[in-house]
């Protein structure tokens, strides 16, 4: 009995992990485990190869909904195949599960069933979803296993569960398992685990397996090649040390290991090169095209901290994990330095993708390979906090009391401001909501710090405005688009405009200027030459019930990022004015348009519209 209880205690973290995984499996089956979104493309490789014996997706894509065609726009290539801009790795990893599903369907049909054995029916789709969950769970086990080398079992379990259930991984395990993120998380975690296990010494066999893992993670998601910086940084340090020691025998041995590593990595990646050759006619290509990456316009802070799927703003647990790296540095400097360098490289690459926000994503999903390192950081932070509280247990009590006092002050503000009824019953859901709003109005999202603070200082806006403005672009066709309806889309407005829109003689809504220098923000994803069209009119100073044009308005000047300005003479009517905005006066990100008005003059603006101009002479 003692032995059994000891065994249960030793294995209890794994039991907890298995129970959580089983719950995820149940939720997956309840949801349905259907292929969707990017998963259509990954699934097509598998279905076409197994059922049709080719990689011709013409018949496969015909089964997909109209939204697929509008989103991915497949076209014929020079080889007569349809384009597929996604990797083949997930299909390869799913294949055992898919083949098992195919065998299951054939057996059931032989026994009198009538399940379509076409590769599209429910068992096939559920099979790849179950495969993704299985690989993700294998990655979770590796995360926990590695964390136990640094922390206690309880801290390792808590950090593993928090990163698992407190990040985008849970969503993609249950709701969109046909995307690549579950298998990508597994493949990168496997690579890091093997790399970490053999850090101090690697023989030829270690290099071989590490190379296969490297090729596998790139096969699943090409950007995972960034993680090869880990052995590359090791190599730079090792060669330098051996050269200083003039140890040429070990240099030759290390070089042989690196050759084995590269050869096995290429061998593992070879299926992708063969697929590219079949579809595109060449062994190496960029299926999305060269314009997919905007190398000179990174949005690194936005990728991490913006409200548009920011890695940390959407998942605070990962923010805490990154903070924990500073604590991990004291324990393992070499590892932490590599993590920081790798994180900068990964953030840069993700931030220069055309849609750095990862499209229609739950969180910053393209960081799936970094969850292990974030779990390491979180484990370091949790260990430091628990050790601190053990030494100073009263601190936890002080913090709880401080939270109660702060809540009472916020409650009191609502009472004094008559936000709640001073003599009647109170709806406490409203009270708690108002408390959050009071804090948010002053601080913004704390997990967007310090980007929102920098934004507030730079533009003179409250930190909360960072969430509504950063990540919105007039050249983004998926949201809002190039036409600013300023009455409804007030996030574009700077200071100096009326709080509410007015209606001009029952025809259209407009905004009225209230200051001499009102501003409008023009956010751009990419620099370029633009044409701005503004429908506006000179108005008399605001009088109650009076709507009339100004008789003595001279002109206004529009300043663009304080680099250039354009003077416009306004007619006594609502009119659309066209202004050229040359590329040299604009920047990727937020651009500020300042309307300089004569003192005492007022303008009204109906809308502002932008359109690109391919060629524009410099002014």
Give the pLDDT confidence of 279-316 residue by residue, as tens digits. 999 999 888 887 889 999 999 999 999 999 999 999 99
Query: Under DSSP, is residue 171 helix (H, G, I), strand (E, B) or coil?
Result: helix
Taking alpha carbons only, the member of 271, 218, 257, 237 closest to residue 46 is 271
Helix axes 181-197, 204-220, angle to 10 degrees: 160
pLDDT at 159 over 80: yes
**Rounded to an integer, what distance in angstroms lies between the CA atom of residue 581 and that of residue 569?**
18
pLDDT of residue 542: 62
For the segment 535-563, the average pLDDT, to the nearest whole number, is 83
Query: Which residues, in sequence order, are CB contacts of 235 under 8 Å at separation 6+?
Result: 254, 258
Report how far Cα 93 is from the mean position of its chain's Cα atoms. Answer: 24
Give the per-residue pLDDT at 618.
Answer: 41
Instruction: Give mean pLDDT, residues 25-48.
Output: 94
User: Tens digits of per-residue pLDDT, 488-523?
Assistant: 888 899 999 998 888 888 888 999 999 889 999 999
* Cis before 16 (ω within 30): no
Name the 3-class secondary structure at 564. Answer: strand
The structure tokens 């304080």 sit at 562
Q: Distance from first CA to last CA of the chain, Å, rounded?
A: 87
| 476 or 320, which is more confident | 320
pLDDT at 546 over 80: no
User: What is residue 614's DSSP assignment?
Assistant: S
Rounded average pLDDT over 15-29: 96
Q: What is the mean pLDDT of residues 385-401?
A: 93
Query: Does the pLDDT value for residue 587 go beyond 70?
Result: yes
Consecutive H or E run containing 508: strand 508-512
Per-residue confidence (pLDDT) for residue 10, from 0 to 100: 63
Averaged over 413-421, what is the pLDDT?
Answer: 91
Residue partners of 170: CB distance under 8 A and separation at least 6: 24, 164
With a cut of 80, say whether residue 533 has pLDDT above it.
yes
Min mean pLDDT across 34-43, 57-66, 476-485 is at: 476-485
Q: What is the mean pLDDT of the chain?
A: 93
Q: Report residue 486's pLDDT band, with 50, 70 and 90 as the boundaries.
A: confident
> Could you read off the pLDDT of 178-220 as tens digits, one per residue?
999 999 999 999 999 999 999 989 999 999 999 999 999 999 9
Confidence of residue 1 (pLDDT cuts 50, 70, 90): very low
Three-point CA angle 437, 442, 445, nearest 5°: 70
Report all structural domains of the chain as residue ranges with CATH numbers, in order of start.
2-381 (no CATH), 392-459 (no CATH), 478-612 (2.60.120.260)
Give percent of the chain with pLDDT exceeding 90. 79
Res. 77: pLDDT tops 60: yes
Could you give phi then psi for residue 576, rounded to 5 degrees?
A: -95, 125
The model's pLDDT over 117-143, given as tens digits with 9 standing for 90+, comes to 999 999 999 999 999 999 999 999 999
Q: CA-CA distance, 576 to 555, in Å (whole number)?
A: 15
pLDDT of residue 619: 37
φ, ψ for residue 116 (rounded to 5)?
-60, 125
> What tokens appear for 78 in the block?
């020079």
Rounded average pLDDT over 382-398: 94
Mean pLDDT of 308-330: 98
């Amino acid at each position: 009995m003692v032995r059994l209880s000891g065994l249960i205690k030793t294995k209890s973290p794994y039991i907890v992990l298995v129970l959580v995984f089983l719950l995820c499996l149940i939720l997956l089956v309840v949801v349905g485990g259907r292929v969707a979104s990017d998963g259509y493309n990954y699934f097509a490789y598998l279905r076409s190869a197994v059922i049709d014996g080719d990689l011709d997706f013409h018949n496969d894509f015909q089964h997909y909904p109209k939204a697929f065609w509008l989103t991915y726009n497949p076209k014929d290539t020079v080889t007569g195949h349809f384009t597929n801009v996604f990797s083949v790795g997930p299909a390869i990893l799913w294949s055992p599960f898919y083949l098992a599903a195919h065998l299951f369907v054939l057996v059931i049909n032989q026994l009198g069933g009538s399940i379509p054995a076409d590769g599209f029916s429910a068992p096939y789709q559920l099979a790849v979803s179950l495969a993704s969950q299985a690989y993700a769970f294998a990655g979770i086990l590796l995360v926990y296993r590695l964390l136990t080398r640094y922390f206690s079992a309880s801290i390792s379990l808590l950090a593993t569960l928090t990163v698992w259930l407190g990040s985008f991984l849970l969503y993609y395990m249950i709701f969109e398992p046909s995307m690549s993120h579950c298998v990508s998380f597994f493949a990168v975690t496997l690579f890091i685990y093997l790399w970490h296990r053999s850090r101090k010494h690697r023989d030829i066999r270690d290099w071989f397996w590490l190379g296969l893992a490297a090729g596998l993670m790139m096969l699943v998601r090409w950007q995972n090649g960034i993680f090869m910086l880990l052995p590359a940084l090791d190599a730079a340090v090792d060669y330098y040390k051996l050269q200083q020691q003039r140890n040429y025998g070990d240099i030759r041995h290390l070089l042989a290991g690196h050759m084995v590593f590269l050869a096995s990595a290429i061998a593992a990646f070879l299926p992708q090169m063969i697929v590219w050759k079949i579809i595109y006619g060449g062994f190496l290509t960029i299926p999305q095209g060269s314009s997919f990456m905007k190398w000179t316009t990174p949005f690194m802070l936005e990728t991490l901290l913006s409200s548009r799927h920011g890695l940390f703003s959407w998942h605070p647990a990962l923010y805490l994990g990154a903070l924990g790296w500073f604590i991990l540095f004291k324990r393992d400097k070499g590892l932490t330095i590599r993590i920081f360098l790798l994180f900068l490289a990964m953030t840069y690459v993700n931030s220069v993708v055309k849609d750095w926000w990862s499209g229609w994503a739950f969180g910053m999903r393209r960081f799936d390979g970094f969850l292990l390192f974030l779990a390491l950081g979180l484990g370091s932070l949790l260990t430091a906090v628990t050790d601190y509280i053990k030494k100073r247990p009263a601190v936890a009590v002080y913090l709880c009391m401080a939270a109660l006092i702060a809540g009472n002050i916020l409650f009191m503000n609502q009472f004094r401001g008559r936000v709640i009824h001073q003599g009647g019953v109170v709806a406490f859901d409203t009270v708690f909501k108002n408390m959050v709003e009071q804090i948010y109005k002053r601080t913004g999202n704390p997990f967007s710090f310090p980007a929102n603070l920098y934004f507030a200082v730079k533009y003179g806006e409250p930190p909360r405005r960072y969430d509504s403005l950063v990540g919105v672009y007039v050249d983004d066709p998926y949201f809002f688009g190039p036409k600013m309806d300023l009455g409804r889309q007030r996030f574009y407005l700077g200071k100096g405009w009326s709080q509410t829109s007015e209606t001009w003689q029952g025809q259209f809504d407009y905004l009225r200027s209230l200051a001499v220098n009102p501003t409008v923000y023009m956010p751009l994803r990419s620099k370029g030459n633009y044409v701005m069209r503004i429908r506006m009119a000179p108005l008399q100073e605001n009088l109650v019930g009076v709507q009339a044009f100004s008789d003595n308005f001279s002109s206004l000047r529009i300043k663009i990022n304080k680099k250039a300005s354009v003077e416009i003479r306004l007619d006594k009517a609502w009119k659309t004015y066209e202004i050229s905005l040359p590329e040299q006066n604009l920047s990727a990100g937020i651009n500020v348009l300042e309307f300089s008005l004569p003192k005492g003059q007022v303008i009204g603006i109906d809308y502002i519209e932008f359109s690109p101009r391919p060629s524009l002479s410099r002014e």
